[in-house]
Amino acid sequence: MSDAILVVNAGSSSIKFKLYDVVGGALALVFGGAIGGIGGMPTLRVTDGNGDSLTERRFEAAAVPDASAAQHHLAEWLLEHLGGREIVAVGHRVVHGGPDFAEPVRVDDAVLRRLESFIPLAPLHQLSNLDPIRVLRQRRPDLPQVACFDTAFHRGHPELSDRFALPRHLYDEGVRRYGFHGLSYEYVAGRLREVAPEVAGARVVIAHLGSGASLCALREGRSQEATMGFTALDGLPMGTRSGGLDPGVVLHLIEHKGMAPAEVGHMLYHESGLLGLSGLSNDVRALLASDRPEAAMALDFFCRRAAQAVAGCAVTLGGLDALVFTAGIGENAPEIRRRIVAALDWAGLILRNDSDGTGMARLDAPGSRAQVWVIPTDEELMIAKHTMRLLGRTAPGAGA
């Protein structure tokens, strides 16, 4: 029986997973997939290590009404397809590590209680991230579980990047800029060291653009500033999240529009961003295909804010040597990349013809003052590597 590591990346409407064989000090992907559409039109899709389809199964909505039911179906499928492997540990993506956790940690009762206390800081994610951990601890208390944090990569920021202009005692209590998408940034930074070592240690901005979107400024491969702050609501406009907002708007909605805090929170997390701007969709593909002026405006807004954020990160770094796009939009929407880089032409960024939209590629044209890359992210592989290290085994570099 061979050893394997399972990675679980759980959200509110989907559970992504990957299984890796542990071969010496390396990891080999066996299969990966997701149960999506939880509570709506649930579907299990799994592909093997080569990307070929293994399973595609649709469920009745009543069969997978919530994440707990999805975990049950996932466990059943895994048991049938382990093929003589033994899962020796499970690694989990946990969005918020708060002020306590600056690196991955093995989960025990005390750690789990502390992570539960951060749910108000990431209400859209943290509860969903922790549910599989609780279920597994009940069913397999002997199985090691590792929490890997999206905030950890940003720990060690200079205080100037961490602070809000609020009284000091709030900062000391943990009200600070944490930054998110750290597992993605860590992976992409590792890949950049492999494919472009001449700039990887210089002034780099990574744009993680997906349904959740943020930017990170890196120097010597380390995070210096991130556009997300105390919560994953800050920074760029996203699929359904507002991004940065005048706090006076929140006060106005509560004090003068009579909205309850929970109503405001729901609007900012679920009804804003591209969906709120367009009134049509939170999906960039749908907005690009639409001829409605509201769709065009939403995309223009998103691209302008992203370009402004790149410029802000360049100020922190004192310049820009490379801009890297990653995540769903960043990897697959060349038109969005083109618009963002076009808004930065004053800084000397020049894009060559960029039309295929998939895979890793260098995109800058001769004469560009900074390199421009697309590097697909792999948060699950990053989680698997951290999990393997906590088991006392070794793994190659982050981008391998």
Domains of the chain: 2-149 (3.30.420.40), 198-374 (3.30.420.40)
pLDDT at 23: 87
pLDDT at 359: 86
Long-range pairs for 33-41 at CB < 8 Å and ≥24 separation? Answer: 35/64, 35/70, 35/73, 35/74, 37/13, 37/64, 38/12, 38/13, 38/14, 38/64, 38/65, 38/66, 38/67, 38/69, 38/70, 39/13, 39/64, 39/65, 39/66, 40/13
Identify the CA nearest to 149 among candidates 188, 180, 171, 107.
Answer: 180
Cα 290 to the center of its chain, rounded Å: 27
CA–CA distance, 208 with 251 (Å, rounded to integer): 30
Q: Count CB-CB contacts under 10 A for residue 234.
A: 20
pLDDT at 306: 98
CA–CA distance, 207 with 347 (Å, rounded to integer): 17
Q: Which residues pair with 105 in a beta bridge?
A: 147
Number of H-type helices and E-type strands within the chain:
15, 14
Across all residues in the chain, what is the average pLDDT?
A: 92
Residue 50 token pair: 């080569």
pLDDT at 226: 97
Burial 132-141 (b: 16+ CB within 10 A, else e): bbeebbeeee
pLDDT at 73: 85
91 neighbors 8 (Cβ within 8 angstroms) = yes
Cα 361 to the center of its chain, rounded Å: 21
Reply yes or no on whether the pLDDT at 323 is more than 80.
yes
Reply yes or no on whether the pLDDT at 287 is more than 60.
yes
pLDDT at 399: 44
| φ, ψ of residue 291 in degrees (nearest 5) | -100, 10
Reply yes or no on whether the pLDDT at 42 is more than 50.
yes
CA–CA distance, 29 with 310 (Å, rounded to integer): 34
pLDDT confidence bin for 395, thresholds 50/70/90: low
Q: Whole-model pTM?
A: 0.92
pLDDT at 354: 66
Q: What is the pLDDT of residues 188-243, one digit of tens each?
A: 999 999 999 999 999 999 999 999 999 999 999 999 999 999 998 999 999 999 99
Mean pLDDT to the nearest integer, 98-122: 91
336 neighbors 284 (Cβ within 8 angstroms) = yes
Identify the residue with better confidence: 79 or 311: 311
- Of the candidates 52, 100, 150, 356, the residue annotated as catalytic is 150
Identify the CA nearest to 188 among candidates 380, 376, 26.
Answer: 376
Reply yes or no on whether the pLDDT at 276 is more than 60.
yes
Q: Is 150 a catalytic residue?
A: yes
pLDDT at 400: 39
- Give 313-368 as a DSSP string: HHHHHTS-SEEEEEHHHHHH-HHHHHHHHHTTGGGT--B-------SSEE-BPTT-
Identify the CA nearest to 288 among candidates 227, 357, 343, 342.
Answer: 357
Residue 260 token pair: 């309850």
Reply yes or no on whether the pLDDT at 398 is more than 70.
no
Identify the residue with better confidence: 138 or 376: 376
CA–CA distance, 127 with 38 (Å, rounded to integer): 15
Q: Which residues pair with 223 in a beta bridge?
A: 218
CA–CA distance, 331 with 360 (Å, rounded to integer): 8
184 neighbors 375 (Cβ within 8 angstroms) = no
pLDDT at 59: 87
| Highest mean predicted confidence (pLDDT) among 58-67, 152-161, 298-307, 355-364 | 298-307
200 neighbors 192 (Cβ within 8 angstroms) = yes
Cα 40 to the center of its chain, rounded Å: 23
Residue 103 token pair: 């690196």
Which ranges of 82-125 would DSSP assign to H, the alpha helix? 109-116
pLDDT confidence bin for 135, thresholds 50/70/90: confident
187 neighbors 197 (Cβ within 8 angstroms) = no
Q: What is the pLDDT of residues 136-176, one digit of tens each?
A: 898 899 999 999 999 999 998 889 999 999 999 999 988 99
